[in-house]
Amino acid sequence: MLAFRRGESGGAMEVFLQQLINGVTLGSIYGLIAIGYTMVYGIIGMVNFAHGDVFMLSAFIALLILLLLTQMLGLGAAPAFIVAMGASMALTALWNYAIERVAYRRLRGSFRLAPLISAIGMSTFLANFVTVTQGPNNKSIPPMWDQVITLTSGGAYDVTLSYRQILIVAVTGVLLAAFWFVVQKTPLGRAQRACEQDAKMAALLGVDVNRTVALTFVIGAALAAVAGSLYLLQYGVVKSTDGFVPGVKAFTAAVLGGIGSLPGAVLGGLLIGLIETLWGQYFSSDYKDVAAFSVLAVTLIFMPSGLMGRPDVEKV
Amino acid sequence: MTALLSISGLTAFYGSVQALRGVDLEVGKGEVVALIGSNGAGKSTLMMSIFGNPRARDGRILFDGQDITDMPTHEIARLSIAQSPEGRRIFSRMTVYENLQMGAAVAGFAGFEANLDKVFGIFPRLKERLKQRGGTLSGGEQQMLAIARALMSNPKLLLLDEPSLGLAPLVCKQIFETVKRLNEEEGLSVFLVEQDAHHALKLAHRAYVLVNGAVTMSGKGADLLRDPKVRAAYLEGGAH
Ligand SMILES: Nc1ncnc2c1ncn2[C@@H]1O[C@H](COP(=O)(O)OP(=O)(O)OP(=O)(O)O)[C@@H](O)[C@H]1O
Ligand SMILES: [Mg+2]
């Protein structure tokens, strides 16, 4: 656990580059989860504590479908993964829709803490539900796409880029672009933004606020399911308690980026991913979670509106 | 004249505070009706309770013969009632254009371009500011945008809560003229709340006076304009 444990024998630059690549990969996943936190907070002012567990659930759904398709039906890795991710997006979205209806909607008008408490309950329920049905241990998939491209070689340390990492960053990029388009350019996205700013006024203009809030949960869950599927792909294993730590990190990302801000969530995700991997490399990998959580505390104390937090009214 | 909006025995509360105490009121098809009253009388509450916010506790609200008392707010809006509410409530992080798009959402986008031209004809200023964020407009420009946004839905009934607030006298006059023109040329029905009782009563076919959550007087705009009690309270610097 010594600092510079690889860098000591030279190749410090290569090590740094490698950790940048790893950090961006991890950060993509955090960013996808963070969007779910930030959107829900933006529209109903609630920290959806169960979102990390929704992410974990989505990874399990992807795992089960992937195993079914590859081991029982003998499908190839690529089509199996695409189907598994798509199905996980759909099923997780449905789950989250149900959660919103059952556990949050009725509490929306009551005191602020009520939905948060309900969300903590939902988080506990989801984690335990998966523990009971799937067991408490790691479940794994066979490694997929583990070929690597060697970027630098001959030095003390080879910098590599795995096919998986390329896939993760590419899928994240494409989905974020599509998502950004929906939010910025479609009537649906406009209604969503209108509800964020003034839900009562939006209703006065004919926007069905309940439906828009439900859609926010659906979209957040679908993106979390993409993150869950990619997480599974990258690490090969998932267990029922895996919702908590990535969930808190993604929440940290949302706060760091400025809660309510979509670009902020992505930026925050990338930063948390980088902080975590670089800290693990240069200081102590035992304390890499502590590093990420310290960021949460420091942000909340010194910069509560985050990096891209928005002032409500601005004069040009 | 057939009633487009008909309110009977309407009461509304904020928590345990009663804001409306059995209001009876009608707006006929093609009519301009004004509501005057001092601060805190419940005018804005009445405007908003037509949309169910706050919900009527007692009484009934009919629009075009349909009972809308318990209808969800967005469904009421979809019946083609539009409101430029108190405080303007522009979407401050959206551009002027997006605010207008939001206004048109109910009508679908069929007549969008034509409506856009129409509101630009009324408020040319908005055309110059199309890409600007709502929150960065001046107060008067925001008021124009709020009215324009309401017009974008092709409403049958237009509710205006203090449309002249914060506007320069000239723009204010222009807005009253616009309302008059839309009413005369397109048969738009208008229900407006106005602090400027003089202008409002001159413009309106009929008017109501609201005091402490209840209607105390009603009649032709011109008649109320001459009424000594109305003059004392709302026109000659009496109550406020
Ligand atoms: N959201 C609210 N919660 C509690 N009380 C409210 C709320 N909105 C209005 N009220 C109260 O209801 C009463 C009527 O308010 P309302 O806004 O309808 O008055 P108004 O006639 O529009 O006044 P103004 O001319 O100042 O706009 C007031 O006493 C006000 O304090
Ligand atoms: Mg008012």
State the count of interchain CB pairs (< 8 A) between A and B. Answer: 75
Give the Å distance between the CA of B143 and the centre of ligand 2. Answer: 14
> What H or E segment, with its residue span, contains residue A166?
helix A163-185
Residue contact B94–A191, C-beta within 8 A:
no
Looking at residues A47-74, what average pLDDT do you find?
94
Give the Å distance between the CA of B43 and the centre of ligand 1. Answer: 8
Q: Provide the pLDDT for residue A158.
A: 85
Contact B194, B36 (CB under 8 A): yes
Q: Is A1 among the domain residues?
A: no
Mean pLDDT of chain B: 92
Q: Provide the pLDDT for residue A128.
A: 92
The nearest CA of chain A is from the CA of B188 a distance in Å of 18
Q: Provide the pLDDT for residue A255.
A: 93
Q: Provide the pLDDT for residue A145.
A: 85
Q: Is A311 among the domain residues?
A: no
Q: Provide the pLDDT for residue A12.
A: 84
Q: What is the dihedral of CA A304, A305, A308, A311, to 10 degrees?
A: -160
Looking at residues A201-214, what average pLDDT do you find?
96
A26: amino acid identity, one letter:
L
Contact A240, A68 (CB under 8 A): no
Q: The dihedral of CA B178, B184, B190, B196: what is its sign? A: positive
Q: What is the DSSP letter of B105?
A: T
CA distance A35 to A24: 16
For B163, the 3-state DSSP assignment is coil
Residue B157: pLDDT band (50, 70, 90) is very high
Q: Provide the pLDDT for residue A308.
A: 85
Residue contact A187–B105, C-beta within 8 A:
yes
Q: Is A65 among the domain residues?
A: yes
Q: Which residue, judged by its Cα, is nearest atom 4 of ligand 1?
A: B14
Collect all residues of chain B within an 8 Å Cβ-Cβ radius of residue A197: 91-94
Collect all residues of chain A within an 8 Å Cβ-Cβ radius of residue B103: 205
- The two three-digit tokens of residue A191, written as one number: 């209604």
Residue B25: pLDDT band (50, 70, 90) is very high
B189-222 pLDDT, tens per residue? 999 998 888 889 999 999 999 999 999 999 998 8
Q: Provide the pLDDT for residue A256.
A: 93
Contact B10, B46 (CB under 8 A): yes
Instruction: Write the CA distances from A275 to A17, A146, A271, A288, A306, integer angstroms.
Output: 14, 25, 6, 8, 16
Interface predicted TM-score (ipTM):
0.93
CB atoms within 10 A of CB B93: 19
Q: Provide the pLDDT for residue A314.
A: 40
DSSP string of B32-86, one letter each residue:
EEEEE--TTSSHHHHHHHTTTSSPPSEEEEEETTEE-TTS-HHHHHHTTEEEE-T
Q: Provide the pLDDT for residue A2.
A: 38
Report whether pLDDT(B239) > 50.
no
Query: In terms of residue numbers, what domain contains A65?
Result: 13-302
Domains and CATH numbers, chain B: 31-53+72-235 (3.40.50.300)
Chain A residue closest to B139 (CA)?
A315
CB contact set of B1 (below 8 Å; sequence gap of 6+)? B28, B29, B30, B31
A242: amino acid identity, one letter:
D
Q: Provide the pLDDT for residue B164.
A: 87
Q: Is A2 among the domain residues?
A: no
Chain B residue closest to A313 (CA)?
B135
B87-102 pLDDT, tens per residue? 999 999 999 999 999 9
- Residue with the larger pLDDT of the pair A221 and A6: A221
CB contact set of A172 (below 8 Å; sequence gap of 6+)? A28, A29, A31, A32, A226, A230
Residue A4: pLDDT band (50, 70, 90) is very low
Mean pLDDT of chain A: 89
Residue contact B51–A205, C-beta within 8 A:
no
A125-169 pLDDT, tens per residue? 999 999 999 988 999 998 888 888 888 877 778 888 999 999 999
Q: Which residue, judged by its Cα, is nearest atom 1 of ligand 1?
A: B14
For A98, the 3-state DSSP assignment is helix
Q: Which residue, judged by its Cα, is nearest atom 30 of ligand 1?
A: B40
Provide the number of structural domains found in chain A. 1
Rg (CA), chain B: 17
- List the single residue in B83, B94, B135 with the smallest CB-CB distance to A193: B94
CATH number at residue A182: 1.10.3470
Task: Work out which ligand 1 atom sits closest to the CA atom of B45.
Answer: 18
Q: Which residues pair with A152 in a beta bridge?
A: A159
Q: Provide the pLDDT for residue A154.
A: 76
**Percent of chain A at pLDDT exceeding 70:** 95
